[in-house]
Homo-oligomer: A and B are copies of this chain.
Amino acid sequence: MKKRSLTDLRKEIDGINLSILDLLSKRGEFVQEIGFLKAEKGMETFNPTREAEMLEGILKKNRGPYSNDSIKKLFKHIFEASMTLIEEEVHKEFLFSRKSKADNSVIELSGSVKIGAGKPVIMAGPCSVESLGQMEKIGSYLSSCGVKIMRGGAFKPRTSPYTFQGLRKKGLEILREIADKYDLRIITEVMDPRHLDMVAEYADILQIGARNMYNYELLKELGRVKTPVMLKRGFMSTLQEFLYSAEYILSRGNGNVILCERGIRTFERWTRNTLDISAIPILKNESHLPVIVDISHALGRTDVAIPIAKAALAAGADGIMVETHYNPAIALSDGDQQLSLPEFRGLLKEIGMLNEDGIDLM
């Protein structure tokens, strides 16, 4: 073989690159035509049998030097890019995506409380609703600090079937009573599609817990209502899975979705979970939905709540969820991670979110 110089060889390759590009463009146009045709006829875009046939045809003609394996991979990428071409329209409609909606979504609650509008929010309250007296103490305190959104579990997903499972309907009633008395909005969990209508009657925001992030039938139901939904990231879920779960709700018609990062499960044992701080800016980049950080479940301890709340806000979070109880030592669940009310007030002050007009009632 006559020896060519590196420069010559590179020129040849440059030429081939452009020829391949040209063929790809032509191919793309045909693919689009097929896409329209199929859309008209209501046919499925993806046809694995056709792909298998194409690959077979191509590999039969492969004379090297690329191995069949390499050629197969390259054409799979070309097929994929073609699928993407067709689906791009759909994709533009991936409803969580910034590509489908450039501006931040703002979730509006009653009393002009807004989530995602630039000013961070606080969601605070006990792990579980335990009694009217408990919620009275907590609700009045929160209100005095200027908090607008109160959390409290009426339906509790508990590891053991024998531990306290929440006051259920009674808990919802207590929440509503206190919320109305102190001008608070309620966020509370729903765990079962059959409870959805009942919970939605009492709640201002429906919470989907980390354990239910993959409960797709429940997510679909949430698309039916208009009540805002806060979807927590599963503690072993990738960010992609998280956004796709949000899409389940959005795609069924409920656009009021809030994302909540609450820590992922790792090997580290000094915290209950590991707060994935990078999730905040990445979710904000990928999606227009508001992002809240639940620092209590992320940490499972209260001593570093203040620096972590600051970090979450610095990373761009639209708000902080934090558990607080008038006496964490006797809480029916998660005592270790609930701040006492004065500790909670201290946190608010440190992050500049204590409403100075509030009067400390304790």
Contacts and interface: CB of A to CB of B under 8 A. Distances in A.
Contacts of A16: 23, 26-27, 30
Interface string A42-71: 000000111110100110011111110011
Contacts of A276: 266, 268, 274-275
Interface string A297-341: 011000110011011111110000000000101111001000000
Given A4-B33, A161-B244, A65 B266 contact: no
Contact of A307 (B9, B251, B268, B315): B315
A211 B244 CA distance: 14
Contacts of A236: 234-237, 265, 267
B278 A298 contact: yes
A320 to B, nearest CB: 12
B191 A48 contact: no
Number of copies of this protein chain within its complex: 4
B270 A267 contact: no
Contacts of A161: 216, 220, 244, 247-248, 251-252
B285 A303 contact: yes
A274 B278 contact: yes
Interface string A1-45: 101101001101110111111011111111111100110000000
A104 interface: no
Given A239-B270, A244-B159, A57 B214 contact: no
Interface residues of A, number: 125
Interface string A182-224: 0000000001111100000000000000011011111010000
A78 interface: yes
Contacts of A102: none
A34 B6 contact: yes
A67 B248 CA distance: 27
Interface centre among A20, A25, A64 (most CB of B within 10 A): A20
A23 B49 CA distance: 25
Interface of A: 1, 3-4, 6, 9-10, 12-14, 16-21, 23-34, 37-38, 48-52, 54, 57-58, 61-67, 70-71, 73-75, 77-78, 81, 84-85, 88, 90, 157-162, 191-195, 211-212, 214-218, 220, 234-241, 244, 247-248, 251-252, 264-271, 274-282, 285, 298-299, 303-304, 307-308, 310-316, 327, 329-332, 335
5 contacts: A24-B71, A49-B330, A215-B215, A274-B274, A311-B314
